[in-house]
Amino acid sequence: QKEVEQDPGPLSVPEGAIVSLNCTYSNSAFQYFMWYRQYSRKGPELLMYTYSSGNKEDGRFTAQVDKSSKYISLFIRDSQPSDSATYLCAMIDSGNTGKLIFGQGTTLQVKP
Amino acid sequence: DTAVSQTPKYLVTQMGNDKSIKCEQNLGHDTMYWYKQDSKKFLKIMFSYNNKELIINETVPNRFSPKSPDKAHLNLHINSLELGDSAVYFCASSHVREGTQYFGPGTRLLVL
């Protein structure tokens, strides 16, 4: 079993839809949670970074962390065709080695 | 202007050859990383250096040897290339170990 599980999709939604992307994890030592967006043939870029349980909002993006359930989510409101990309969740443990453990990534397509 | 850069962008080579990939960051970060992304887009850490000291060394064949001549550079040398080494290799850097990691554009390696 992988430390971080993420449904690879693909996920296809119409423009304007609310998108929900999720990851589950098994290691309770994970303390820092991130969402990266990766466009085709590009490097991952950080979207959201959270430390504790709860919600964090940035524009159309909301990251949610539930440590008790070992579950994190990313919500995208009013999705746009430019949001079409692969979304990767990533986590770092409290040992602070800096080793990011990634989910497999979910491919999202937003259709105009 | 580029934060994390890698050369070359594409690398096509024959099995058995030796090749190097170079990475440079101009962000003033202390920690640099090498990741491998396979054909299913799964991103896995290989190595990490902090202030030129190796701090993460995952289970990677010893044909892969990282070298950090200074804090701003982390190179990856691969000996005796195999078909299974074909992947996209990403360099990343962060200010501190648990900090945001910034990724380079990737080097697409194809071993024939």
Work out the average pLDDT over B72-96: 94
- Mean residue pLDDT of chain B comes to 92
Whether B33 has its CB under 8 Å from any CB of chain A: the answer is yes
Q: What is the pLDDT of residues A31-65, one digit of tens each?
A: 889 999 999 999 999 999 988 788 999 999 999 99
Chain A residues in contact with B50 (beta carbon < 8 A): 98
User: Which of A83, A73, A77, A76 is closest to A107 using CA atoms?
Assistant: A83
Tens of pLDDT along B94-111?
987 667 899 999 999 999
Residues B12-24 pLDDT 10s: 999 999 999 999 9
For A87-106, what is the mean pLDDT?
Answer: 85
Mean pLDDT score, B48-62? 86
Residue B57 pLDDT greater than 80, yes or no: yes
Looking at residue B109, its amino acid is: L
Q: What is the pLDDT of residue B50?
A: 87
Helix (H) or strand (E) holding A71: strand A71-76
A85-111 average pLDDT score = 88
B33, B39 in Cβ contact below 8 A?
Answer: no
Lowest mean pLDDT among A1-10, A56-65, B24-33: A1-10
Chain-chain contact of A104 with B31 (C-beta, under 8 angstroms):
no
Q: How many CA atoms lie within 13 A of B32 on its CB side?
A: 29
Task: Give the mutation candidate from A100, A104, A106, A108 for the B interface (greatest B CB count, under 10 A).
Answer: A100
pLDDT at A9 over 70: yes
